[in-house]
C-alpha cells in the first residue's frame, strides 16, 4: 500500500515556505511516510529547471531525488525513497454564462517533457512567470482541451471542488454541475478533489458525483503540511498505475482526510463578527450577517446542502474507505499542553520518528503499546481516540480553521493544561464566540432558541441593506426599442440628416436601425447602401448585426461597409487600378532616399507625418489650434522632397495609406471612374462624422453628389483628431453647406451612471446636456499616488479587488470588504492613458499581480526590422507581384541586397509557406514562421505574434495592419490570449468602446493635457479627449494621478471636498467603513493611494496555515 499526496506547491507560488524545495519535500515525505509526492507548479520555468537538475527518472513517469541532494536526517528510519510525479495547479478566472468563474485545476503529467510542452502553450495564454500557480483567463473547458491535445495521458482533476472562492462548485464563483463547467469534455473528467473542508460522506450526498473518483491531497504550502490529506493506493509503482487508480478507481483503496470541520470554510459565518452559522441559520437570516448586515460567507456544508439530492448519512455503494486524522505534531501538542511549533513538540516528534518509524505508520497502524512505551500514556491515548474518531469537533468558518479536541478541559486541568488545535495555529481560543460541543454553531455563538439575533434585534430586521451588487440593472429605466429622437432619425425621409449623438445615447443602435429601416421598410437594395465607419471593428460589428437582425446573411455582405480607407481600396480595385500598398518599412526607405537627395533636414518619421497631413488636406501652416511654423526656404525644400518621394513611389507602383483616399477623390473628380460606381453610394451613411478630415469630407461630397440620401452621425463634443485635420465645427459647416439638412439630437444616455455622466459633463462644462437612464452607482474616484510606480501598483491591486481577489487570501479578504459589490471579469475592465509610453509600467505591475491583459494600439515593436520584414514577406505571399515587398523582406530579414540569389531564396520560402498562409490560422502560421526563421526569442516578434489571435485569416490580419486604426490593433500582454483580459489602450484608441469599469491613468498636468515647450496643447481638444475617456465607463470610473492633478478636474474639486469625502488609503477599507449615503449629494470622491493597514484586532494569518 502506498500513500500519495499529489497537490502541493513549490517556493515559487504565493504564500509558500522557502523550504518548498525538492530536498525538503523529499525529507518530509520520508518523515511522513508518503511514497508518491507531487512536484507542484510544473508551469513555472524556474521550478521546472530546478526539478530537471535535482530529479532523476525512476519508474515509468516517476522521478526520485538525486542521492547527492538528499538531506540526511537521524529521525528518519528505513530506506524508503519517495517518488515524485509531475503536477501543477492552475487558477482560471473567466466569465461564463454571465458570471465570473474562479476555478482551480490540478494537472498530473507523465514527465517533465510534457510539462515543458504544456507550459510553453500556456505561456501564450497568460503569465506563468510570476506565480507557481498561474492565473489564466482561460475557460476550464479550453484548459482541459489544451492539456489533452498536448498530453493525452494527462490526468485533469478539478481541485478542492467545494472551496467557496476558487473551485468548480464554489459558492461564490463556481458552477452547479460538472457539465456546465466542462461541457462536451466532461467525459474526460474522471476524478475530483474533495478539499479540506469536505470528506467523502459529504460528497456521497451528491449523486452527480457517483461517476467520479474522490481523491484527497494536502494542497501544502510548506513541506511540514504534506499529508494533511492523501490517497491510499494499491498499485504498481508507475505513472500508469497511478493514472489507472485515479481515473478508474482500480488500485484506489481510499483516502486520508482532514476532519472536515477543521477546514476553514466548513460552516457559514463571518470571521470579523466572530459568528459561525449553520446553513439553516444562514437561511433564517436571509444570507445577511445579523451583526454587521453584510453578506454571510457561505461555507462548504451549506453549498453541499444546496446541491445534495440525498440525506445526510447516505453511504455510496462501493465507496472507498477513508480515515480522518490530524498531524502527529498536533497530537503531541494537545497531549503535552504546548504549541505544535514549540521546541518541546519538535523534540518529541523527532524522537518518535527515530524510535517508531514514519508519521503515518504511527498514526494509523503501530500498536498503541509501542507508542505508550516510547512517548507515554497521554500521547498513546490521543492517538487511540484519533483512530476511533473520539474527538470534539468545532467547525471552521469564513477562513477560520476549526478546532478538533482530543482531550476535554477537565482531563487536562491540573496536569498539563488545555491546548486545542485552535491554539496550535496561533489564535486565542477565547477571542471568538466558541462554546459547547459538536458541530452546532448556535451553541458556540451563544445564540438562544428564539428568533432574536445576536444583537437583540428581531431577525426580520436583519436584512439592513440590499444584497444586490452595485451596477446591476436594478432600477434601470429599460431603453425602448427606439426613443422618440432615435425613431425620428431612423425614419426621417429627409435627403440629408445629421444626428448629434452624445456618448451612450445609442449611436450604433440608431445607425443600424436606419440601415434596417432602409432595407425592410423602404426596400432599398443592399448593394445601393454604403456605410462608412471609423474602425474595422465597427465595420465588422455593423455587418454582423445587419445580417443577424434582418435574418439575411447576404444583407451585410452586399452592402459597402468599411472604413474610408477600406472602401477606397475596394473602389480602386474595382476600377481596375493596379498598385501595391506600401508597408511602413518601404515608405521609410523611400522617404530616406528623397530626403537625402534633396538635402531636407528632417527625420523620415516627421517627413511622413507631414506627407500624411498634406494629403489629408491640412494646410502647410497647420490648423488654427495646431499651427506649424515653417519658413519659406524650409517649405521649398520640403516640396522638393515631397515631389521626389512621390516620384519614387510611382516608379515602384506603390501607394501609401493616404493615396487610397486622395486617388479615389481625384478619379471621381476627373470623370475617369468607370460608369456605375454611383449605385453603391445612393444611400450614404457616415459614422463618427466629427472625426473626418478635409479629404474625407471631400469624398463624402463626391459620393453624395452622385447619390440620393446622406445620413451622418457623431458628436462634436467627442472630436479628438484635430491634429489629423478633424474639426469640431463640422456639423455647423454641414448645416451651412446644406440648407435642407435635418438635425436630430440624441440626449438620453443608456450607458453611464449619473455619477459618471455628471462628472464628465462638469469637465466639459456642459452640465445637463445629457440625461442619465442608469441607476446610481459608486462615486467617481480620483486617486492621488506618490509616484508613477505606486500609481501602477494601485491600479493593479484595485483590478484584483474588482475581480474579487486573484488569490485565496485576497479572495477571502475581498469577500468581506466588498460585500455587495459586483465581482467583475477581467474583460469588464479597461485602463486608459494618454500615451503608449505609460503602458510599459502598467504592464509590469499587472504581470506582477498575475493579471492577464491585452494592449490595443499601434506600438513601437511594429517598427522593428524583424516585424517589418515579416510583414513584407506576408504581403509577398498574398500577392506574388508585390516585388517591392519581396525586396524589402530580403533586406530586413536576410540582410542581403536584391539579386537573383535573394529572389530565389524568397521564392523557395514562399513556396514552403504559401499553402499555410491560406489554410492556417494566423496564430499557428506565426508560430511556424518564427520557428523557421529562428525568431522565437525575438521580443518584438513575440509581441507581434500576440496580435494574431484576434484574427481568423492571414488576409484579415494583414488588412488590419495596413488599414486598421489604433483600436483595431490589439496584442496580448506578451501572450496569445483572446478572452477575459484587462484592456490597456490610449484615450484616443478607446473611442467608440465601453467598459463596466474604467481607470484613467496619469490624469495630471503634462499628460492631460499633453504638452511640452515644443508642442503646446490644444486645451479644448484635450478636454474633449478626457471627456471621451470618462464616458467609456458604465458603472465604475477611477481616475489616477501621481503628479499635480489635471486642471480639467477643477470643476469637480469643490463639490467633492465640501461634502468631506477626501479619504486616505487605497480605498478598499474605506468603502467598507464609510456609509455611501454621505456622497448622495456629490459625484466625486478624493483618495490617496497608500499602503493597506492591518485591521485592529485581526490576527495576521501565517503563510504556513495554508
Which residues are documented as binding site for ATP?
Answer: 501-508
User: Residue length, the chain?
Assistant: 1106
Alpha carbons 64 and 83: distance in angstroms, whole number = 5
**All cell numbers assigned to 678:** 454611383
Whether the CB-CB separation of 108 and 68 falls below 8 Å is answered with no
Alpha carbons 569 and 89: distance in angstroms, whole number = 50
Measure Cα distances from 723 to 502, 566, 623 in Å: 22, 22, 8
Transcribe 735-779 into DSSP letters. Answer: HHH-TT-EEEEE-EE-SS-HHHHHHHHHHHT-TTSSEE-SPP-PP
Strand runs labelled E in 940-981? 970-972
> Residue 1073: CB partners within 8 Å, gap ≥ 6?
none
User: Cα 899 to the chain's mean position, in Å?
Assistant: 48
Whether the CB-CB separation of 1036 and 998 falls below 8 Å is answered with yes
Count of CB atoms situated within 10 Å of the CB of 656: 22
State the burial class of residue 1096 (Cβ atoms within 10 Å of its Cβ: 0-12, 13-18, 19+).
exposed
Residue 33 phi/psi, 5-degree rounding, is 90, 35
Q: Percent helix, strand and coil across the chain, each rounded to 5?
A: 45, 15, 40
Q: In terms of Cα–Cα distance, which of 131, 132, 205 is closest to 162?
A: 205
Whether the CB-CB separation of 941 and 867 falls below 8 Å is answered with yes
State the burial class of residue 1 (Cβ atoms within 10 Å of its Cβ: 0-12, 13-18, 19+).
exposed
Count of CB atoms situated within 10 Å of the CB of 904: 10
Alpha carbons 2 and 32: distance in angstroms, whole number = 12
* E strand or H helix that includes residue 684: strand 683-686
* E strand or H helix that includes residue 702: helix 694-705
The number of C-alpha atoms within 13 Å of 810 and in the hemisphere containing its C-beta is 19
Measure Cα distances from 286 to 193, 373, 462, 639 in Å: 30, 55, 8, 77
Q: In terms of Cα–Cα distance, which of 991, 1020, 1018 is closest to 688?
A: 991
Residue 973 phi/psi, 5-degree rounding, is -70, 75
Residues making up the annotated binding site are 501-508
**All cell numbers assigned to 322:** 477513508
User: Cα 171 to the chain's mean position, in Å?
Assistant: 21
Q: In terms of Cα–Cα distance, which of 156, 136, 167 is closest to 299?
A: 167
Amino acid at each position: 500500500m502506498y500513500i500519495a499526496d499529489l497537490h502541493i506547491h513549490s517556493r515559487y507560488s504565493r504564500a509558500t515556505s522557502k523550504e518548498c524545495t525538492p530536498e525538503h519535500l523529499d525529507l518530509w515525505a520520508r518523515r511522513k511516510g508518503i511514497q508518491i509526492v507531487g512536484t507542484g507548479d510544473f508551469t513555472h520555468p524556474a521550478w521546472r529547471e530546478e526539478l530537471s537538475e535535482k530529479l532523476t527518472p525512476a519508474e515509468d513517469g516517476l522521478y526520485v531525488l538525486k542521492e547527492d541532494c538528499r538531506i540526511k536526517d537521524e529521525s528518519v528510519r528505513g530506506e524508503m525513497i519517495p517518488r515524485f510525479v509531475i503536477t501543477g495547479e492552475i487558477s482560471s478566472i473567466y466569465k461564463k454564462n454571465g458570471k465570473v468563474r474562479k476555478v482551480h485545476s490540478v494537472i498530473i503529467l507523465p514527465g517533465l517533457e510534457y510539462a515543458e510542452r504544456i507550459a510553453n502553450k500556456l505561456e501564450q495564454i497568460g503569465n506563468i512567470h510570476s506565480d507557481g500557480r498561474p492565473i489564466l483567463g482561460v475557460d476550464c473547458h479550453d484548459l482541459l482541451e489544451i492539456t489533452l491535445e498536448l498530453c493525452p495521458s494527462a490526468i485533469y482533476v478539478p481541485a478542492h471542488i467545494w472551496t467557496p472562492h476558487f473551485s468548480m462548485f464554489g459558492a461564490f464563483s463556481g458552477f452547479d454541475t460538472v457539465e456546465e463547467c466542462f461541457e462536451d469534455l466532461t467525459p474526460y473528467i474522471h476524478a475530483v478533489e474533495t478539499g479540506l473542508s469536505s470528506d467523502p460522506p459529504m460528497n456521497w450526498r451528491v449523486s452527480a458525483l457517483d461517476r467520479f473518483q474522490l481523491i484527497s491531497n494536502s494542497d501544502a504550502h510548506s513541506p511540514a503540511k504534506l499529508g494533511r490529506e492523501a490517497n491510499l493506493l494499491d498499485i504498481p509503482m508507475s505513472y500508469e498505475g497511478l493514472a489507472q487508480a485515479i481515473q478508474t478507481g482500480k488500485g484506489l483503496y481510499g483516502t486520508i482526510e482532514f476532519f472536515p470541520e477543521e477546514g476553514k470554510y466548513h460552516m457559514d459565518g463571518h470571521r470579523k463578527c466572530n459568528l459561525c452559522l449553520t446553513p439553516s441559520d444562514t437561511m433564517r437570516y436571509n444570507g445577511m450577517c445579523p451583526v454587521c448586515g453584510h453578506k454571510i460567507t457561505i461555507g462548504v456544508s451549506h453549498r453541499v446542502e444546496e446541491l445534495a439530492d440525498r440525506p445526510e448519512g447516505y453511504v455510496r455503494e462501493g465507496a472507498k474507505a477513508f480515515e480522518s486524522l490530524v498531524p502527529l505534531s498536533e497530537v503531541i501538542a494537545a497531549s503535552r499542553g504546548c504549541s505544535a511549533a514549540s521546541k518541546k513538540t519538535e523534540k518529541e516528534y523527532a524522537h518518535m520518528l527515530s524510535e517508531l518509524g514514519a508519521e503515518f505508520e504511527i498514526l494509523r497502524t503501530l500498536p498503541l503499546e509501542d507508542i505508550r512505551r516510547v512517548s507515554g500514556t497521554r500521547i498513546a491515548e490521543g492517538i487511540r481516540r484519533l483512530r476511533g474518531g473520539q474527538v470534539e469537533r468545532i467547525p471552521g468558518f469564513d477562513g477560520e480553521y476549526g478546532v478538533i479536541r482530543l482531550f476535554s478541559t477537565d482531563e487536562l486541568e491540573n496536569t498539563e493544561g488545555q491546548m486545542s488545535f485552535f491554539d496550535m495555529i496561533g489564535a486565542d481560543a477565547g477571542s471568538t464566540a466558541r462554546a459547547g460541543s459538536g458541530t452546532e454553531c448556535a451553541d458556540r455563538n451563544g445564540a438562544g432558541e428564539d428568533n432574536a439575533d445576536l444583537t437583540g434585534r428581531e431577525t426580520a430586521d436583519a436584512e439592513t441593506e440590499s444584497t444586490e451588487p452595485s451596477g446591476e440593472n436594478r432600477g434601470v429605466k429599460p431603453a425602448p426599442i427606439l426613443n422618440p429622437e432615435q425613431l425620428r432619425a431612423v425614419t426621417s425621409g429627409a435627403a440629408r440628416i445629421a444626428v448629434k449623438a452624445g456618448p451612450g445615447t445609442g449611436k450604433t443602435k440608431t445607425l443600424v436601425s436606419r440601415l434596417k429601416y432602409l432595407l425592410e421598410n423602404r426596400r432599398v437594395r443592399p448593394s445601393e447602401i454604403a456605410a462608412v465607419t471609423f474602425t474595422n471593428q465597427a465595420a465588422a460589428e455593423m455587418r454582423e448585426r445587419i445580417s443577424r437582425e434582418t435574418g439575411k446573411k447576404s444583407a451585410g455582405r452586399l452592402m459597402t461597409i468599411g472604413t474610408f480607407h477600406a472602401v477606397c481600396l475596394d473602389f480602386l480595385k474595382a476600377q481596375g487600378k493596379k498598385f501595391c500598398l506600401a508597408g511602413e518599412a518601404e515608405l521609410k526607405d523611400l522617404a530616406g532616399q528623397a530626403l537625402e537627395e534633396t538635402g531636407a533636414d528632417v527625420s523620415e518619421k516627421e517627413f511622413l507625418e507631414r506627407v500624411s497631413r498634406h494629403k489629408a488636406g491640412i494646410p502647410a501652416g497647420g490648423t488654427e489650434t495646431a499651427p506649424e511654423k515653417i519658413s519659406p526656404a524650409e517649405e521649398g525644400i520640403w516640396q522638393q522632397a515631397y515631389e521626389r518621394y512621390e516620384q519614387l513611389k510611382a516608379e515602384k507602383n506603390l501607394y501609401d495609406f493616404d493615396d487610397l483616399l486622395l486617388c479615389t477623390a481625384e478619379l471621381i473628380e476627373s470623370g475617369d471612374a468607370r460608369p456605375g460606381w454611383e449605385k453603391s453610394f445612393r444611400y450614404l451613411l457616415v459614422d463618427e462624422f466629427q472625426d473626418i478630415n478635409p479629404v474625407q469630407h471631400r469624398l463624402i461630397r463626391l459620393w453624395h453628389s452622385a447619390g440620393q440620401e446622406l445620413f451622418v452621425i457623431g458628436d462634436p463634443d467627442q472630436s479628438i483628431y484635430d491634429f489629423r485635420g478633424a474639426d469640431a465645427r463640422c456639423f455647423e459647416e454641414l448645416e451651412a453647406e446644406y440648407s435642407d439638412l435635418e438635425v436630430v439630437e440624441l440626449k438620453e444616455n443608456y450607458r453611464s451612471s449619473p455619477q459618471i455622466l455628471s462628472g464628465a459633463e462638469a469637465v466639459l462644462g456642459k452640465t445637463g446636456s445629457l440625461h442619465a437612464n442608469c441607476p446610481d452607482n459608486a462615486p467617481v474616484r480620483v486617486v492621488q499616488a506618490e509616484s508613477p510606480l505606486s500609481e501602477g501598483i494601485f491600479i493593479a491591486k484595485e483590478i484584483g479587488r474588482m475581480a474579487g481577489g486573484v488569490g485565496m487570501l485576497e479572495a477571502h479578504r475581498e469577500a468581506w470588504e466588498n460585500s455587495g459589490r459586483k465581482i467583475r471579469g477581467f474583460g469588464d475592465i479597461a485602463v486608459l492613458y494618454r500615451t503608449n509610453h505609460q503602458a510599459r509600467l502598467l504592464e509590469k505591475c499587472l504581470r506582477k499581480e498575475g493579471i492577464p491583459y491585452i494592449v490595443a494600439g499601434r506600438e513601437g515593436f511594429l517598427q522593428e526590422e524583424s516585424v517589418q520584414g515579416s510583414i513584407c514577406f506576408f504581403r509577398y505571399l498574398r500577392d506574388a507581384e508585390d516585388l517591392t515587398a519581396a525586396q524589402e523582406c530580403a533586406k530586413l530579414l536576410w540582410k542581403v541586397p536584391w539579386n537573383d540569389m535573394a529572389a530565389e531564396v524568397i521564392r523557395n520560402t514562399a513556396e514552403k509557406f504559401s499553402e499555410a498562409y491560406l489554410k492556417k490560422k494566423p496564430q499557428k502560421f506565426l508560430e511556424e514562421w518564427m520557428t523557421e526563421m529562428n525568431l522565437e526569442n525575438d521580443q518584438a516578434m513575440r509581441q507581434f505574434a500576440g496580435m494574431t489571435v484576434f484574427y481568423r485569416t492571414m488576409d484579415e490580419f494583414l488588412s488590419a495592419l495596413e488599414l486598421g486604426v489604433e483600436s483595431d490593433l490589439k496584442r496580448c500582454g506578451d501572450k496569445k490570449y483572446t478572452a477575459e483580459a484587462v484592456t490597456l489602450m490610449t484615450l484616443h484608441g478607446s473611442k467608440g468602446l465601453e467598459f463596466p469599469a474604467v481607470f484613467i491613468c496619469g490624469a495630471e498636468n503634462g499628460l492631460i493635457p499633453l504638452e511640452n515647450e515644443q508642442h503646446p496643447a490644444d486645451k479644448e481638444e484635450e478636454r474633449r479627449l478626457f471627456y471621451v475617456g470618462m464616458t467609456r465607463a458604465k458603472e465604475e470610473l477611477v481616475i489616477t494621478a501621481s503628479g499635480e492633478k489635471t486642471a480639467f478636474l477643477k470643476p469637480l474639486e469643490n463639490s467633492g471636498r465640501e461634502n468631506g469625502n477626501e479619504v486616505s488609503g487605497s480605498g478598499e477599507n474605506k468603502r467598507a467603513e464609510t456609509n455611501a449615503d454621505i456622497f448622495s449629494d456629490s459625484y466625486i470622491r478624493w483618495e490617496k493611494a497608500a499602503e493597506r493597514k492591518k485591521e485592529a484586532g485581526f490576527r495576521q494569518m501565517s503563510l504556513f496555515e495554508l
